[in-house]
């Protein structure tokens, strides 16, 4: 059986973690009087908050899904709302 060479302390490569900045977007609640903000991106998920039409939301595009936007709440946590009822301000990156 061949002897394996183990790396020395000097040869060990440490993993590097990179923080990628998230460019949040602004979105306006449209075409509904009240929009549910849910815990998870599905209709069966618990409602965390209800916002009215005209409310400006902060959207995290990385956490969003095909049908749901991930929105930042006042306590810095995230919830989800249906994309159909949010108009994105393309010039409004935060």
Which residue segments constitute the domains of the chain, with CATH numbers given? 26-89 (2.30.30.40)
**DSSP codes joined into one string, the chain:** -PPPPPPPTTTPPPP---PPPP--EEEEE-S-SEEEEESSSSTTSPEEEEEETT-EEEEETTT--SSEEEEE-TTS-EEEEEGGGEEEETT---
Q: Going residue by residue through the chain, which has 94 residues, state the pLDDT in tens, using 9 for 90 and above.
A: 556 666 666 666 667 777 777 789 999 999 999 999 999 999 999 999 999 999 999 999 999 999 999 999 989 899 999 999 999 987 645 5
Pairing of strands 78-82, 68-72: antiparallel
- pTM of the model as a whole: 0.73
């Amino acid at each position: 059986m061949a002897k394996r060479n183990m790396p020395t302390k000097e040869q060990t490569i440490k993993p590097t973690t990179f923080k990628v900045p998230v460019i949040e977007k602004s979105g306006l609640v449209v075409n509904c009087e009240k929009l549910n903000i849910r815990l998870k991106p599905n209709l069966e998920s618990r409602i965390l908050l209800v916002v009215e039409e005209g409310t400006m939301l902060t959207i995290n595009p990385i956490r969003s899904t095909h049908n749901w936007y991930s929105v930042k709440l006042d306590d810095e946590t995230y919830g989800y709302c249906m994309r159909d009822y949010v108009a994105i301000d393309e010039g409004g990156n935060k």
